[in-house]
Structure 1
Amino acid sequence: MTNVYIVGAGPGDYDLITVKGLKAIQKADVILYDRLINQELLDEAKEGAELVFCGKRPDHHALSQTTINHLLCKYARKGKVVTRLKGGDPFVFGRGGEEAEELAKRNIPYEIVPGITSGIAAPAYAGIPVTHRDYSSSVAFISGVNKQGGDEEAYWERVSKSMDTLCIYMGVKKLPLICERLLKYGRPLHTPVALVQWGTTKEQKTVTGTIEDIVEKSKRIENPAMIVVGDVVRLRERLQWFESSLEEDLKEIATGVV
């Protein structure tokens, strides 16, 4: 019998959670949830379920990862069905692997329920396919913050040259440094760049530019935001659909047409 479900809640749009993920929410006795999930998903919890906030903001964690690991094990050992609800996909920059390791070490049965990661979904909702036959045959999902003690120069030299498209998580605060490194290791000044803030939600905002000017253009963009680097960004001019539909909805509301 599974005690713990490590679930990807998707990138923000309520409808983008998987059927299996939704079932894990509905059956849980305890839900440990993160900041970036769609809060409406918690309405699916059964009556009496305990909800535990584990959210992380830049430079501030409500609970440490060690504490979260401890709680997963504690509730599971009490015979509770526990759902660990994480934004995006738990195994893509979500520390789901660390939590699974802790459960495995203590012989606690668990399942991983994948979710749609923002590295794919946010660009898609901005009209940017991360691969395209004419523009990109390869894509890398990378962190804007390499591991502590790692060689930043070697890291950016490796990733800058490796793929046609780069989808960069957790990089907004380091955008000037990222652009500097991309230029240093071979990306041209005119390389297209997009930042997608709050992707797939009604608050989505997208800014596009090039390595040369994106820092100036994106000064009002804040976390959470996905950075996309590569020629696929050019396709947004023709393929943007979601923000256009939001604008149409706002126009209809303003004119009383619903």
Structure 2
Amino acid sequence: MQRHEASRQGRGQVTLVGAGPGAADLLTLRAVRAMQAADVILFDALVSTEVLDLARREAKRMLVGKRGHRVSCRQEDINALMIKLAKQGKRVVRLKSGDPMIFGRAGEEIAALAVENIPVDIVPGVTAALAAASDLGVSLTHRDCAQGVKFITAHSRKGELPDLDWCACADVATTLVVYMGGRTAPALANRLMEEGLSPTTPVVVLHDVSLPGANCQPMSLSDLLHAVIEREGPVLIGIGDVFRDVAARTGIATPPPTNCLPLAVAN
């Protein structure tokens, strides 16, 4: 509705588009249509070239990525740029890795645009946790193991573990998926064990989900305590008994389950 109203008045607009975890064939049709209609595309550093290739050829592409401990665009500058371009009558696509509404700062951008009365559309994308579950053949809510799933970030504004309800995060009946946890993995493991989660709890550390160079490292929570994650690219950490079968398929020995019935091992 906002999009059509903006078009009638000759005003610009902004569309927040989820680019998914990297593989272009995980984009939605709506995302491709938005990219094909854009005048300007502001894209994150984690958006793949394969995804950008699906944009309208005439669209101007501008990198506005934010990467930890590197020179990055400030969120305030990105907000200001979107507002400036929209006021010039441009159709702006803000292309975000994964889903815009999952740790994508979409709330801040929507609020900034609303103050300026700039129409905003949102196109969901496949978030990394769901792509990882599919790649691994793991149900995040396998009914014999987990009665819930929780997405958290392990990286606060200060680069440390955020102030969360860590007791709830250590629930053995909940699958925990941790975004941006590469640098804080040992502190994360320590905090969860302090809250009572077993050191033998299965863990998977995933890099570059859905991409050709994807990598999965099964381990236990106690292993994560001493892990040094140096690989470049996005890191996703899965914690919980639903990942026990992943370790079994790699041939890595694992302890008996703490909270679930044995899962079938894929042939």
Say if 1:116 and 1:137 are closer, same or farther in 2 by CA, change over 3 A.
Answer: same
Which of the numbers 188, 204, 213 marks the counterpart of 2:198?
Answer: 188
The answer on whether the counterparts of 1:172 and 1:223 sit within 8 Å (CA) in structure 2 is no
RMSD over aligned CA atoms reads 2.3
Say if 1:55 and 1:149 are closer, same or farther in 2 by CA, change over 3 A.
Answer: closer
Tell me whether 4-13 or 157-166 shows the greater mean CA deviation.
Answer: 157-166
Residues 25-40 of structure 1 correspond to what in structure 2 (within 5 A)? 25-40=35-50
Which of the numbers 142, 145, 152 marks the counterpart of 1:132?
Answer: 142
1:46 Cα deviation after fit = 2.1
What's the % identity of the aligned pairs? 38
Q: In structure 1, the residue corresponding to 2:53 is in which secondary structure?
A: helix
Tell me whether 53-62 or 12-21 shows the greater mean CA deviation.
Answer: 53-62
Q: How many residues align?
A: 240
Matched, 1:89 2:102: no
| Structure 1 length-normalised TM | 0.85
- What is the alpha-carbon distance in structure 2 between the residues aligned to residue 147 and residue 58 of structure 1? 10
Matched, 1:169 2:188: no
Match of 2:64 in 1: 54
Q: In structure 2, the residue corresponding to 1:10 is in which secondary structure?
A: coil
Deviation per CA, 1:16-68, whole angstroms, max 9, x where unpaired? 01110110101000000001112122222223211110112112243111110
Match of 1:23 in 2: 33
Say if 1:78 and 1:152 are closer, same or farther in 2 by CA, change over 3 A.
Answer: closer
- What is the alpha-carbon distance in structure 2 between the residues aligned to residue 234 and residue 205 of structure 1? 17
Say if 1:134 and 1:173 are closer, same or farther in 2 by CA, change over 3 A.
Answer: same
Tell me whether 77-86 or 152-161 shows the greater mean CA deviation.
Answer: 152-161
Q: In structure 2, the residue corresponding to 1:44 is in which secondary structure?
A: coil
Match of 2:214 in 1: 204
| Structure 2 length-normalised TM | 0.83
Tell me whether 35-44 or 120-129 shows the greater mean CA deviation.
Answer: 120-129
Higher helix residue share: 1
Tell me whether 142-151 or 69-78 shows the greater mean CA deviation.
Answer: 142-151
Q: In structure 2, the residue corresponding to 1:88 is in which secondary structure?
A: coil
Matched, 1:101 2:111: yes
- What is the alpha-carbon distance in structure 2 between the residues aligned to residue 49 and residue 13 of structure 1? 21
Match of 1:5 in 2: 15
